[in-house]
Amino acid sequence: MPSVETLNRTPLHQFHVDHGAKLVEFAGWEMPMLYNSIIDEHRQVRNSGGLFDVSHMGRVRFTGPDACRFLDLACTRRIHGMADGQCRYTLVCNETGGCRDDLLVYRIGEGVYLVVCNASNRTKLLAHFEAVRGDLDFEMRDETTSTAMMALQGPKVMGLLVGVVPEVAGLKRYRFIRKNIMGADVLISRTGYTGEDGVEVILPAQLATQAVTLLVSNVGSDSPVKPAGLGARDTLRLEAAMALYGHEITEAIDPLSAGLNFAVTLDKGGDGDEAGSFIGQDALKKIALDGPRRTLAGLVLDGRRTARQGMTISAKGKEIGIVTSGCLSPTLDKPIAMAYVDTGTQGRVEVALGRGSVAAEIVALPFYKRNR
């Protein structure tokens, strides 16, 4: 683990300190785990609104005549044909179909794309992109430290933002707008990682603190939007059954087993398709043909004990799976988990919790879905 002196700090570091955050190391960054209580922050997002600093996530700009062609080579989903102002969730795979990372691609304009990736994979992806770019003509620029990124999530967020940026009223899901705020180019997208509605804001690093004041006036006890840390972000995404790199997806786990079929274009690069085939496509075609050996499922555990990553699952005395993520759900008030189980497994299973085991029910994902 890096020492505190060597950790990266986001442009909102002083904001976290001023608001009493408990700071921890995460993927080489000093990040807020919580400000007061994970459960309170979780419920704040579900009921009203939360502000997350996600500046640690990688932001890489691709510019040039072959930028789209390269991203189609690197990404599992078709990038060719995206419209200006559109975001697309996709993955980068290795040759065996395992996930190098999942990411969002933003089409800013002809030959201009922004890629947002996980903090833990940024340097790995930059090296991978350089290794496979060949003679394609494009520039790749890492903008992670020169920009800040915030996520505002919750049922009251959009109504609040309309008063600051009226254009967000017409912003559709997986679309973004660019807005001049305080003389700077600000990108506002409507995606999310909590199961709630909301936006992400990317802007120059030096304006991050002022933007927090502008977007969330009087962040305090009476504000409809309050700061939230990585702890609540994890419980929120787990309830919404959203994959986390290093848990539900890894270099050894393919996106089809993870239930991310929508983010994989298996016929990319076929006759008449201007999007070329992608790295790992042949391996994923074979997995799709044979069917995944294990698939991602939801578990609701009996009692109050929680399952953790790596705990084994059995049925009728036979090991049939492994837990990837688990927590006590603040919304459901029950222990929940995501796990890989042998394809077709249903009903009751046993989860090994160290000292003894506990019964659990396999359930459909997600655990939580907001009222639209």
User: Measuring CA to CA, which residue among 339, 343, 307 is closest to residue 323?
Assistant: 339
Q: What angle is formed at CA 9 by the lines to CA 324 and CA 202, rounded to 5 degrees? A: 80
pLDDT tens-digit readout, 57-93: 999 999 999 999 999 999 999 999 999 999 999 999 9
Identical fold, 4-55+145-239 and 293-372: no
User: Measuring CA to CA, which residue among 320, 340, 327 is closest to residue 368?
Assistant: 327
Which residues partner with 348 through β-bridges? Answer: 361
pLDDT tens-digit readout, 305-360: 999 999 999 999 999 999 999 999 999 999 999 999 999 999 999 999 988 999 99
Backbone angles phi, psi at 165, to 5 degrees: -130, 90
Assign domain 293-372 to its CATH superfamily: Aminomethyltransferase beta-barrel domains (2.40.30.110)
What pLDDT does residue 188 have?
97
Domain 4-55+145-239 architecture = 2-Layer Sandwich (3.30)
If you average pLDDT over residues 197-218, what whole number do you get? Answer: 85
What pLDDT does residue 184 have?
87
pLDDT tens-digit readout, 18-64: 999 999 999 999 999 999 999 999 999 999 999 999 999 999 999 99
User: Where in the chain are the domains?
Assistant: 4-55+145-239, 293-372
Residue 330, classified by CB atoms within 10 Å of its CB into exposed (0-12), middle (13-18) or buried (19+), is buried
> How would you classify the pairing of strands 318-329 and 86-93?
unpaired
Q: What's the rounded Cα separation, in Å, for the pair 54 and 88?
A: 18
